[in-house]
Structure 1
Amino acid sequence: MLLDYVLEYVYRGSWTTWILYRTMSILLIEAFYGGSHKQLVDLLQEEIEDCVLFTLPAKKWHWRARTAALYFMQNVPASPDYRILFASSVLNLAELIALRPDLGKLKKVLYFHENQLTYPVQKSQERDFQYGYNQILSCLVADIVAFNSAYNMESFLTSIGKFMKLIPDHRPKNLEKLIRPKCQVLYFPVRFPDVNRFMQEHKEAPGSKGGEDSCLVMDLPSQEKNGETSELTSISILPHESGYDKVQSGLDSQVPEGLLCPLTTLAELDKPTSSKGTSPSEEEDSKPMGVNLSNISGRLDNQEKPLHIVWPHRWEHDKDPESFFRVLLKMKEMGLSFHVSVLGETFTDVPDVFSEAKKTLGSSVLHWGFLPSRDEYFQVLCMADVVVSTAKHEFFGVAMIEAVYCGCYPLCPKALAYPEIFPAEYLYSTPEQLFKRLQNFCKRPDIVRKHLYKGEMSQFSWAALRGKFRSLLTTEPREDL
């Protein structure tokens, strides 16, 4: 039918031709439909025409990596309209193409949210070799391989040789040389939300005075900021992962009972602390709490509120919560006052350190657990003063970027993808350096609250990156399609 065709004018050299061809379709396949993986394909489907999406739930990560290709072989219908296949590196693309030769003719784009060659496993097992091996095979089959950061790309490519030495004998050679020409860096596109309605008076979202790019909307976990008092510091630890960072575990996502604490109202946080040095959370411990930004009164200045720290990451070992809590407990032992909000996604096995830290931190805790509401999450980030990462595994860090957009001062390891994303003054090299920075901020929270972030957030926005993604997902029809 004529409606199935598009008339395309193409200029080539000194002559012109008219080409009739079917409307191009983009096949989006996501084997782990959650976190940043879900955000990306949802965004592409919403913003780019002619996309069709097939997914598997974000559970049992290891099983998705092992078996997703067979599932999609049976559940993706054949169509002569497909022109491009876009998938994340969870999928074994080589297996899918072998099972579905019709998809092998498409332009195949593989996107890396993370790579398995550098994942810090707790206990190395030979069977884990498969996950990195699958990603290498997928790269060999793909036409274009995109990474969410230069760190992700280089750590993957430069680890291939060492990784393949795990094979007992007859090892393949020169794989990096075969794969590198296909690779490019394409930052994860963040659609920042309009958080101006959540901002406290002393805060301003980066780029909030700009044009259309200044307020970008994105379904990502939010960061919170809190006030400080001269003697008290507040820290909020949220169970959200940088935006919707992909879960690096094969465990089912869930919210264990008792992890989700009610939110403290901003009006309560504005109340002066008592002369006895009790924190707002101690005074209101028995009262029901909830975020209500309309109650912000702004009665306390920047020096009268305790520092509010937020930790918005997955509750898993690769985010190194042990290091974070050791720093906080040391601060508490020294009599420093703060509030903390621990946000982020939780799974079947929650490290014991979380329940232990919650008891020890006591009244310093403002929020504890996953916030399912996007608005609540961003409200907390807008309340907080400092956002901390102690990760041992990070290839981009949507949650940190979101928190900074909400006005938080970032403190990140001087490693992984962070030096690529944040200026040097926001990086620390050792846990002791992190402790000293937080100690100083507890004593002078006004320094953090008056600080203007010196980095650039707009380069990570969908507004800045959509042209590159559109180019990636377009192609001229080929005669063999």
Structure 2
Amino acid sequence: MSVLLIEAFYGGSHKQLMDLLQEELQEDCVLCTLPAKKWHWKARTAALYFMQTVPTSTNYRILFASSVLNLAELAALRPDLGKLKKVLYFHENQLAYPVQKCQERDFQYGYNQILSCLVADVVVFNSAFNMESFLTSIGKFMKLIPDHRPKDLEKMIRPKCQVLYFPVRFPDVSSSHSVSSETQEKGFGEQTRYQSSFSFHLILSTVRTSKPFMPEHKLARLEKVTGVKRNGDAYQLEGLPGQQESRALGGLMKNSNAHRESGLCEAQPGLCTTQHEGLPSPLTAPARPNKSEASEGTNPCQEEDKQHLTFNLSNILSGRDYQQRPLHVAWPHRWEHDKDPETFFKVLLKLKEKELPFHVSVLGEAFTEIPDIFSEAKKALGSSVLHWGYLPSKDDYFQALCMADVVISTAKHEFFGVAMVEAVHCGCYPLCPKALVYPEIFPAEYLYSTPEQLFKRLQNFCKRPDIVRKHLYKGETAGFSWAALGGKFRSLLAAEPREDL
């Protein structure tokens, strides 16, 4: 029990990471959580709760927590925990998180994160964009204090910082069941049973008895980029059976020191991390092309009473040949203002006005307050809608992505973007803003600068959907897998016993 995992907001990607670490570390860790509700109250009060509920132990050596927790408060309230090596992980940061109005930004949340960084021994960010947007905003943020402002906080915090990408558990979407029933019961956003090296590493020597999630044209593209050959329903990887996992991973991350602007990485086919003296360098491996970007896109889905719908694979695969079907666009994001659904639907409605053929699946989770644009857009889009609503089953979710041609982000906030990376893994052609974290994750050809550029790209794709269905993705997703990143996390959470404990 040497690693203490603390998550004050146990949901979404926060839950995924903690569950993954607990699974991989097994008996070597203990997990303490609070439910993913009322985020603001968790950020304010979680330290006091954990002071009372985290069991005492002489075996702890590492404390790993997300930045929702006020680590400074917990360290003061529990001196025994304060002596541990403290690792703080940033999924997002409150200094760069967008608010609808400037006066809505509560100073306390960003201030808590700064205090936590000062107390932490290691500060880890899920992207270079996340790290730089936080560090470079500290000075301006502190000017909100009317007088007696602290100085040089960025210089104090930066040496502790490093980038370690979020480890995505990629499913085997080449099969008819990508996740186990146990995983489905735990709901969307969590995948616990399958290995996640290269996108389709698990299909080695496995016989499939039913149709795969991926339509035929995507599987054909897959064969080209992974060296996977199909004989009937049997799949085998070219090469020697005893080859190491690294061969399947292909190109992982590329050193970005020569490709940086204002501390951020430019668009690269590989991955990149911002390095600092004394921090480990990025993973490296022989470069290799990644998966295909194609899909079949226009088929009905079943409607339910509520927003939670079921995606029907048999219906998707029936009907016209995929080459004749309209472009299928996916939008797999939270139904909130920071994902800018207004821009997305404005572009789609413009396509509709020009009578261009397309279908759309609007995925992602809605919460208590749903922006009005969703109900308005659903009515206006009419028969162009294939699917509308959150899919609690991860199988259904990946199935929907596999049937799409293009995945779009219009986000005004993104510090990593698990949904976009998952969609690319499922063979979707990504279109993302040329801003935020996206230039760090995706090659330049998948980025747009304005809504007008997004419209023009989609207009061309609507006229020629075969362009995306034949496209081979120019970037890499393998470097975001646990197989690629697990060693880094293990090193981060390894520590020699300290004499002062």
- SS of corresponding position for 2:471: coil
Give the 3 Å change call, closer, same or farther, for CA 370–357 of structure 1 in structure 2: same
Give the 3 Å change call, closer, same or farther, for CA 268–127 of structure 1 in structure 2: closer
- SS of corresponding position for 2:216: coil
Checking the alignment, whether the CA contact within 8 Å between 2:66 and 2:88 is kept in structure 1 is: yes
Q: CA deviation at 1:269?
A: 5.3
Checking the alignment, whether the CA contact within 8 Å between 2:88 and 2:122 is kept in structure 1 is: yes
Q: Greater Rg, structure 1 or structure 2? A: 1
Distance in 2 separating the partners of 1:370 and 1:346? 7
Distance in 2 separating the partners of 1:28 and 1:208? 39
- Aligned partner of 2:367 in structure 1 is 347
- Aligned partner of 2:477 in structure 1 is 457
- Aligned partner of 1:27 in structure 2 is 4
Q: CA deviation at 1:61?
A: 0.9
Aligned equivalent of 1:360, options 376, 380, 384: 380
Whether 2:314 is the aligned partner of 1:260: answer no
Distance in 2 separating the partners of 1:412 and 1:327? 13
- Aligned partner of 1:399 in structure 2 is 419
Whether 2:383 is the aligned partner of 1:314: answer no
Checking the alignment, whether the CA contact within 8 Å between 2:7 and 2:66 is kept in structure 1 is: yes
Aligned equivalent of 2:20, options 35, 39, 43: 43
- SS of corresponding position for 1:396: coil
Give the 3 Å change call, closer, same or farther, for CA 207–160 of structure 1 in structure 2: farther
Whether 2:120 is the aligned partner of 1:142: answer yes
Aligned equivalent of 1:227, options 276, 280, 296: 296
Aligned equivalent of 2:466, options 446, 449, 452: 446
Query: One-letter code of the match for 1:446?
Result: D
* 1:190-223 Cα distance to aligned partner (Å, 9 max, x none): 12111112111111457584664659xxxxxxxx
- Aligned partner of 1:168 in structure 2 is 146
Count of residues in Structure 1 that have an aligned counterpart in Structure 2: 400
Checking the alignment, whether the CA contact within 8 Å between 1:259 and 1:370 is kept in structure 2 is: yes
What aligned pairs does 1:6-405 form with structure 2 within 5 A after superposition? 25-49=2-26, 50-125=28-103, 128-197=106-175, 198-204=213-219, 207=226, 209=228, 212=245, 214=248, 227=296, 258-267=306-315, 270-272=318-320, 300-302=321-323, 304-405=324-425
- SS of corresponding position for 1:125: helix
Q: CA deviation at 1:108?
A: 0.1
Distance in 2 separating the partners of 1:161 and 1:146? 20
Checking the alignment, whether the CA contact within 8 Å between 2:299 and 2:317 is kept in structure 1 is: no
Q: CA deviation at 1:470?
A: 0.4
Q: CA deviation at 1:45?
A: 0.5
Distance in 1 separating the partners of 2:160 and 2:319? 57
Distance in 2 separating the partners of 1:301 and 1:351? 33
Among the aligned pairs, what percent are the same residue?
78
- Aligned partner of 2:234 in structure 1 is none
* 1:172-197 Cα distance to aligned partner (Å, 9 max, x none): 00000000000000000112111112
- Aligned partner of 2:496 in structure 1 is 476
- SS of corresponding position for 1:203: helix
Distance in 1 separating the partners of 2:77 and 2:150? 23
Distance in 2 separating the partners of 1:390 and 1:235? 25
Distance in 2 separating the partners of 1:386 and 1:235? 17
Distance in 1 separating the partners of 2:132 and 2:157? 12
Give the 3 Å change call, closer, same or farther, for CA 257–134 of structure 1 in structure 2: farther
Distance in 2 separating the partners of 1:315 and 1:79? 42
Checking the alignment, whether the CA contact within 8 Å between 2:310 and 2:396 is kept in structure 1 is: no
Distance in 1 separating the partners of 2:227 and 2:387? 27
Q: CA deviation at 1:258?
A: 3.3
- SS of corresponding position for 2:62: strand
Distance in 2 separating the partners of 1:324 and 1:126? 24
After TM superposition, the score normalised by the length of structure 2 is 0.77
- SS of corresponding position for 2:494: coil
Distance in 1 separating the partners of 2:93 and 2:490? 24
Checking the alignment, whether the CA contact within 8 Å between 1:306 and 1:339 is kept in structure 2 is: yes
Q: CA deviation at 1:345?
A: 1.2
Checking the alignment, whether the CA contact within 8 Å between 1:386 and 1:410 is kept in structure 2 is: yes
- Aligned partner of 1:18 in structure 2 is none
- SS of corresponding position for 1:370: coil
* Higher mean C-alpha displacement, 167-176 vs 195-204: 195-204
Distance in 1 separating the partners of 2:295 and 2:467? 14
Distance in 2 separating the partners of 1:464 and 1:456? 12
Q: CA deviation at 1:457?
A: 1.0
Query: One-letter code of the match for 2:405?
Result: D
Which consecutive unaligned segments of at least 5 residues does structure 2 have? 176-212, 229-236, 238-243, 250-292
Checking the alignment, whether the CA contact within 8 Å between 2:215 and 2:295 is kept in structure 1 is: no
Checking the alignment, whether the CA contact within 8 Å between 1:235 and 1:364 is kept in structure 2 is: no
Query: One-letter code of the match for 1:401?
Result: V
Checking the alignment, whether the CA contact within 8 Å between 1:234 and 1:340 is kept in structure 2 is: no
- SS of corresponding position for 1:48: helix
Checking the alignment, whether the CA contact within 8 Å between 1:270 and 1:305 is kept in structure 2 is: no
Checking the alignment, whether the CA contact within 8 Å between 1:234 and 1:338 is kept in structure 2 is: no
Q: CA deviation at 1:124?
A: 2.9
* 1:318-344 Cα distance to aligned partner (Å, 9 max, x none): 000000000000000110111100010
Distance in 2 separating the partners of 1:126 and 1:373? 35
Query: One-letter code of the match for 1:202?
Result: H
Checking the alignment, whether the CA contact within 8 Å between 1:318 and 1:391 is kept in structure 2 is: yes
Q: CA deviation at 1:458?
A: 1.2
Checking the alignment, whether the CA contact within 8 Å between 2:99 and 2:105 is kept in structure 1 is: no
Checking the alignment, whether the CA contact within 8 Å between 2:46 and 2:69 is kept in structure 1 is: yes
Checking the alignment, whether the CA contact within 8 Å between 1:145 and 1:184 is kept in structure 2 is: yes
Give the 3 Å change call, closer, same or farther, for CA 108–335 of structure 1 in structure 2: same
Q: CA RMSD in A?
A: 2.1
